Structure 1
Amino acid sequence: MTENDGEAAGARRERAGWWAEARATLLLAWPMALTNLSQMALLATDAAYLGHLSTEALAAVTLSGTLFWTMLSPGFGLSFASAALLAQERGRRVGHVRAMRRTLRAGFWGAVLAALPGMVLLWNGGAVLRLLGQDPALAGQAQEFMRAVLWGIIPFGLFLTLRGLMAAMERPWAPLVIGVLAVPLNALIGWVLIFGNLGAPALGVQGAGIAGAAADTFMFAALALVVARDRRLRRYRFFGRLWRLDLSRLGKVLWLGLPISAQMLLEIGLFSAVGLVMGAFGAVAVAAHAIALQIASTTFAIPLGLAQAATTRVGLAVGAARPRAAWRAGWTAILLSVAFMGPMAAVMLLAPGALVALFLDPAAPGATETAALAATLLFLAGLFQLSDGVQVVGAGALRGLQDTRVPMLIAAAGYWALGFTAAVALAFPAGLGPPGIWAGLVVGLLGVAGAMGWRWARLSARGGLTAGRGLAPIAP
């Protein structure tokens, strides 16, 4: 074989490696992305019901949403940490059964402990909203919803932990099926309890909260049943001795997961703060902001699924001490995110009005003004689609390396020091109003994406990538 033949064969192997990684990533990512969309469908169902009940009911539950999702952030962060650890342990193979069992048990304990402070705050959510200057009547209705839905926080956290386990096992289908089944279950219970159908009392917003908690409990119970009865998973005995508190492994999950939770809180806090600032420009601005944000959030579900897949694929490669495979896995997920978000950006840039029209009745009062402003905001959302996709997948790939503290600092600097500051400056001193706020988001997300991409490129390119070196396989 000549030297040229050897180079050609090497190039073919390299191309085959990229295609194989892309296929493995997509097979893992798209069920996870659809599971994320099923969670959004639960919220859409509640909004549709409550919108028909009364404007006040919809406003009250929308108002409680910021507090509710903020309280879910610790559970999300710890579940992502558990998923990263589980993937590395499975990739290591040697002694992985016991290690994965310990991590899952610690993840369960972490989910419960992380939920308790949030449940206390939500129980008193009405008082919190009143302290924040919200209308007392709406705060009272919001508290009815929160006191019902909070009972689903622990089951939902446990479901997220099990979903991370299934991702590490590269078996994302069961969470998807269960998440899809939860949508009609939530719709049925909500229809009965919100409106008082089938002889049940009409509970209004409280009924919506009960339906949400029931759907969360169903998702955990159903997935736990799948894990317990599956022939391939049964040998792991994942649910053995769940009552034992493994402080060492719990500390590892917390050390890795709390920065992820903080990063999510920073992002949620940014969009919550932007919504509050938007209120200074009136109802039309708030409605336009909500429409543009709903569309942007829907497209974001896909790169979020790719980010979850990146955590697993990178973690498996790190556990198996295959640095080249880890590098390829992260870049493959980032490139797939760009391939999806690019066309989404094009649609938002070229036809924002057509998308906005799906959410508005042209005959409704103020529809013309709202549609015009929403189209402008959606155009700006098109400008940050690529950045949003790169930053979330970059963070997911870094989680596979157990690198979470620096991404948290990047989020703090990018979202707040850069993004929020730019949003306020462009909206008020520069006089751009609501479009200035979204222009600030463009600036912030671009900064975070650049920093996350740089961090991933720097760490993944280093040699000597092996598992088991403390909490970070690569030193920062």
Structure 2
Amino acid sequence: MSQTDRPGRFGHLGQGRTGHVRALLVLGLPLIGSNVAQNAIGFVDVVMLGWYDVTALAAVSIATPVFFTLFLLCAGFAWAVTPLVAEGIEADDIVAVRRVTRMGLWLSVAAGLAVMPVFWWSGPLLRALGQTDSVASQAQAYLRIAGWGVIPALFVVTLRSFLSALEITRIILIVTVASAILNAGLNWVLIFGNLGAPELGLQGAAIASVSLQVAAFFGLVAYTRRHCAEFDLFTRLWRFDSQIAARVFSLGLPMGLTTVAEAALFSFTAIMMGWINEIWLAAHGVALQLASMVFMVHLGLSQAATVRAGRAFGRRDEAALRAGGKAAMLLSGLVSGATVLLFLGVPAFLMELFVDPADPARDAIVAAGVTLLAIAALFQVVDAAQVMTIGLLRGVQDTAVPLLIATVSYYMLGLPAGYVFGFVFGLGGPGVWLGMVVGLGAAGIMLSLRFWLWTGRLAPRPGLSAPGPG
């Protein structure tokens, strides 16, 4: 049996193209489901606070991007656990796996504490960005509570990364779906004061968010202690391992910065859409929501590709790495093709699902959205390419150069192109979105070249199990 075809210590590695596709689906479908469920948590928060109070809705709409921008920046250290654990698994090095995961938890605490002051004193920052006193004060009240959830949320991502590297993903889906249900129930009780609870409004939503993060963390801890006992993850948890911490830090910081860079591209694009008028901004919000739903599929496949690439990289198996990369791109391409047909086939129907029939601007928003969805059809193809190759590159522990590529693509190409197309050439909203296509397309091309060139350089390298706290 070849190295490519042999079963792994944990999970099956697959045989040939069909085997790689099947393995990606088995690993990726629960991750896709958990991403969709995670996305639903934020959606439910917005809907319920929209029912409660307009100012509360505005405040959470401002507070949520602040929270998630800082969370994504910190989460790079947790994401770094996946490829490093995958490498340790292929070496049958349980000590290395334990050391990596333990330092992922350590760095999550450090990162969470570092951003806490921003949550606590977010009001003056939001006022400086032009928000009204009432919105800024309510957003700060929300963030002062929700901020306490960032460390358990990072713990959850760290344990998710550990379990994903072991190709154990069903429990991730179960915990995420349970969290979404818990969040909705707690929101109903705490926001509106049901079942005899005090009516806490925005603060109730924040308490619900912290509660579900803590519950999800303890749920994954209980599962890990019972079903992954051989790794003994929480032994000597208090001992700091400087060597492994440095490895996790150097790999994880570029991951967090790359993700924030992409998120900021969409934020700046929204700002430019607002310069045009409210119709195009509203259409942008709806069309982007539709695109984001499909993106959850690509993201789940990308996370699965990180694990598969990490396992192949741990064995220095170039053939399996390249075959797995082709299988990942094939699946993502099929999803992109279906999305193109959907966005071009029934764009008005999709837009109308999100716009109130009684809204006098409905026809204008739908018409603008139809145009944007036509561009989103192209946008999906290039966005899928860049997120898949980022996942593959993370699997081979290549994160610094992808950060440089993302920065150049998004801020030196994408944003300037959006401004030129939208305002200099007078294309308006469609021009701004074409800028996103340029930025993400450039990233997809350069990242793809980076991956396929990298796979020819799988020289042996020192393992993770150098002397250190076990």
Give the TM-score band, short-chain normalised. over 0.9
| 1:68-79 aligned within 5 A | 68-79=67-78
| 1:281-296 aligned within 5 A | 281-296=276-291
Separation in structure 2 between the aligned mates of residue 180 and residue 469 of structure 1, nearest angstrom: 36
1:191 matches 2:185: no
| 1:224-235 aligned within 5 A | 224-230=221-227, 233-235=228-230
| Contact residue 83 and residue 312 of structure 1 kept, 8 A | yes
CA shift at 1:117, angstroms? 2.3
1:46 matches 2:41: no
Separation in structure 2 between the aligned mates of residue 73 and residue 151 of structure 1, nearest angstrom: 15
Corresponding residue for 2:6?
none
Q: Which amino acid aligns with 1:211?
A: A
1:347 to 336, 342, 349: 342
CA shift at 1:365, angstroms? 2.7
| 1:165-244 aligned within 5 A | 165-230=162-227, 233-244=228-239
Separation in structure 2 between the aligned mates of residue 428 and residue 448 of structure 1, nearest angstrom: 23
Separation in structure 2 between the aligned mates of residue 193 and residue 16 of structure 1, nearest angstrom: 51
1:304 matches 2:303: no
Give the count of matched residue pairs: 451
Corresponding residue for 1:88?
87
| Contact residue 313 and residue 458 of structure 2 kept, 8 A | no
Corresponding residue for 1:468?
462
Deviates more, 1:315-324 or 1:154-163: 315-324
CA shift at 1:435, angstroms? 1.5
Deviates more, 1:81-90 or 1:142-151: 142-151
Separation in structure 2 between the aligned mates of residue 139 and residue 379 of structure 1, nearest angstrom: 36
CA shift at 1:33, angstroms? 1.1
Separation in structure 1 between the aligned mates of residue 360 and residue 321 of structure 2, nearest angstrom: 54
| Contact residue 426 and residue 437 of structure 1 kept, 8 A | yes
Three-state SS of the structure 2 residue aligned to 1:198 is: helix
Three-state SS of the structure 1 residue aligned to 2:196 is: coil
Q: Which amino acid aligns with 1:310?
A: A
1:406 matches 2:401: yes
Q: Which amino acid aligns with 2:107?
A: G
2:275 to 280, 285, 305: 280
Three-state SS of the structure 1 residue aligned to 2:424 is: coil
Separation in structure 1 between the aligned mates of residue 372 and residue 225 of structure 2, nearest angstrom: 47
Three-state SS of the structure 2 residue aligned to 1:245 is: coil
Residue 271 to residue 401, structure 1, CA distance change in 2 (3 Å): same
Three-state SS of the structure 1 residue aligned to 2:80 is: helix
Corresponding residue for 2:153?
156
Q: Which amino acid aligns with 1:47?
A: V
1:444 matches 2:443: no
Three-state SS of the structure 2 residue aligned to 1:202 is: coil
Separation in structure 1 between the aligned mates of residue 429 and residue 139 of structure 2, nearest angstrom: 27
Separation in structure 1 between the aligned mates of residue 240 and residue 311 of structure 2, nearest angstrom: 26
Percent of pairs identical after alignment?
38
RMSD over aligned CA atoms reads 1.4
Separation in structure 2 between the aligned mates of residue 132 and residue 277 of structure 1, nearest angstrom: 15
Corresponding residue for 1:250?
245
Residue 193 to residue 335, structure 1, CA distance change in 2 (3 Å): same
2:94 to 97, 103, 111: 97
Three-state SS of the structure 2 residue aligned to 1:201 is: coil
CA shift at 1:120, angstroms? 1.3
Separation in structure 1 between the aligned mates of residue 262 and residue 379 of structure 2, nearest angstrom: 14
Residue 469 to residue 331, structure 1, CA distance change in 2 (3 Å): farther
1:378 to 373, 396, 413: 373
Three-state SS of the structure 2 residue aligned to 1:391 is: helix
Unaligned runs of 5+ in 2: 1-13, 465-470
Separation in structure 2 between the aligned mates of residue 454 and residue 349 of structure 1, nearest angstrom: 29
1:334 to 329, 333, 347: 329
| 1:19-58 aligned within 5 A | 19-58=18-57
Q: Which amino acid aligns with 1:431?
A: G
Separation in structure 1 between the aligned mates of residue 143 and residue 458 of structure 2, nearest angstrom: 49
Q: Which amino acid aligns with 1:180?
A: V
Q: Summarize deviations over 1:395-449 as a string: whole Å, max 9, x none.
A: 1101111100110011001111110011111111111112211111111111111
Q: Summarize deviations over 1:310-360 as a string: whole Å, max 9, x none.
A: 111111111122221112112211221111111112211232111111101
Q: Summarize deviations over 1:183-212 as a string: whole Å, max 9, x none.
A: 110011111111111121111111111111
Corresponding residue for 2:411?
416
| Contact residue 60 and residue 139 of structure 1 kept, 8 A | yes
Residue 281 to residue 217, structure 1, CA distance change in 2 (3 Å): same
| Contact residue 142 and residue 206 of structure 2 kept, 8 A | yes
TM-score, with length taken from structure 2: 0.93
| Contact residue 101 and residue 236 of structure 1 kept, 8 A | yes
Separation in structure 1 between the aligned mates of residue 209 and residue 367 of structure 2, nearest angstrom: 34
| Contact residue 337 and residue 389 of structure 1 kept, 8 A | yes
Unaligned runs of 5+ in 1: 1-14, 471-476
TM-score, with length taken from structure 1: 0.92
Q: Summarize deviations over 1:364-413 as a string: whole Å, max 9, x none.
A: 23111111112211221111111111111101101111100110011001
Q: Summarize deviations over 1:36-87 as a string: whole Å, max 9, x none.
A: 1111110111111011112222111111122111111133211221111001
CA shift at 1:307, angstroms? 1.0
| Contact residue 310 and residue 400 of structure 1 kept, 8 A | yes
CA shift at 1:465, angstroms? 4.1
Q: Which amino acid aligns with 2:325?
A: G
Residue 442 to residue 463, structure 1, CA distance change in 2 (3 Å): closer
CA shift at 1:283, angstroms? 2.3
Separation in structure 1 between the aligned mates of residue 327 and residue 270 of structure 2, nearest angstrom: 34
Q: Which amino acid aligns with 2:381?
A: L
Separation in structure 2 between the aligned mates of residue 196 and residue 284 of structure 1, nearest angstrom: 35
Write out the 4+ residue segments of structure 1 that deviate beyond 3 Å after TM superposition: 463-470
Separation in structure 1 between the aligned mates of residue 369 and residue 152 of structure 2, nearest angstrom: 36
Corresponding residue for 2:384?
389
CA shift at 1:463, angstroms? 5.0
Separation in structure 2 between the aligned mates of residue 394 and residue 132 of structure 1, nearest angstrom: 35
Q: Summarize deviations over 1:286-309 as a string: whole Å, max 9, x none.
A: 211111111111100111111111
Corresponding residue for 1:9?
none
CA shift at 1:464, angstroms? 4.2
CA shift at 1:124, angstroms? 1.3
Corresponding residue for 1:128?
125
Separation in structure 2 between the aligned mates of residue 163 and residue 307 of structure 1, nearest angstrom: 14
